[in-house]
Amino acid sequence: MINGLIRTLIVSLVVVLFSSCYSLKKSIYLDGDLPRKLNDIDGTFLQNPPEYKVEVNDLLYIRVTSLDEQTSAFLNNESGYTNMPESASATSLLGYRVDMDGSIEYPFIGKIFVAGLTLEEIRDKLTLAVSRYLEQSNVIVKQLNDNITVIGEVNMPGRFPLNSEKINIIEALSLAGDLTDFGNRKKVRLIRHRNEIPQMFIIDITDERTIYSQYFWLQPGDIIYVEPRPYKALSLNTTFVTAGVSMITATFAILTYLNSREEN
């Protein structure tokens, strides 16, 4: 009987050891064969970030200032004037959402196509449009949905606002408290949307050439995902395995002792 229990314990020990072999694929997001490693894409290296071009669903802050405060108030919808499209009146309270056709509805001016333009180009376009009402004006255009998201093997994952006109991937990782000990620095994934289509790139932040790449600089809406290193799964199960092996070993020793006494 004791010999049977010993065999059972040996089988249990094997089961515990195999159960610790947690599949790494279960902990990796967006896994797949991605040929688009950053430094192998097109060899284009930029020291300055490319200007962001506004896309559908972006939210813009627009404000017109001039010496003619009354007209400026009308254009900024601050006067309580209601003879305008309902969508423009409601949108201007929070910002101007870029519609699916790539335009915004601006009070008194109407639709203005902005998709594919930089903030400076939109400002110039609006300045020309409001010149019919104001001879001298200053138009301010900013982006309201300028956030980035950092997830995965970082100490403080989350969504972070872009408080400056440019931010790079190293600065973004620092906002998230840097990578954990398990973070794979050779496989940092950048997910970027272009015209509602997501694109994904793998960045090796241990490669110094990364700082010269166009993907080194982040844009509003970018998502950074840090993969775990392969040994994380084994580390996570160390406590479980140690406890299981200790318990089985102790029981095995007791049964072996009892078995030897029976034989004597």
Give pLDDT tens digits for 45-65: 455 667 888 988 888 989 888
- Let me know: does 217 contact 144? Beta carbons within 8 Å: no
Model confidence, pTM:
0.62
Mean pLDDT in residue range 115-124: 93
Task: Give 86 or 141, the one with higher predicted confidence.
Answer: 141
Give 231's contacts (C-beta < 8 A, 6+ positions apart): 182
**Among 3.40.50.720, 3.30.1950.10, 3.40.640.10, 1.10.3720.10, what is the CATH number of 59-143?**
3.30.1950.10
Distance from the Cα of residue 21 to its chain's centroid = 29
pLDDT of 41 over the 50 cut: no
Tokens of 63: 């404000």
Which of the 8 DSSP states describes residue 98? Answer: P
CATH class of the domain at 24-51+146-233: alpha beta
With H, G, I as helix, E, B as strand and everything else as coil, classify residue 168.
strand
Mean pLDDT in residue range 151-174: 89
Reported confidence tier of residue 174, pLDDT bands at 50, 70, 90: very high
Reported confidence tier of residue 150, pLDDT bands at 50, 70, 90: very high
Kindly report the average pLDDT of the chain as a whole number.
75
How many CB atoms neighbour CB 187 within 10 A?
20
Give pLDDT tens digits for 11-22: 555 555 555 554
**Dist CA 62 CA 29 (whole Å):** 37
**Which residue, 232, 234, 231, 176, is CA-closest to 205?**
176
Q: Which DSSP string do the residues of 105-145 spell out, in sequence order?
A: EETTTEEEE-TT-BHHHHHHHHHHHHTTT-SS-EEEEEES-
Give 187's contacts (C-beta < 8 A, 6+ positions apart): 202, 204, 226, 227
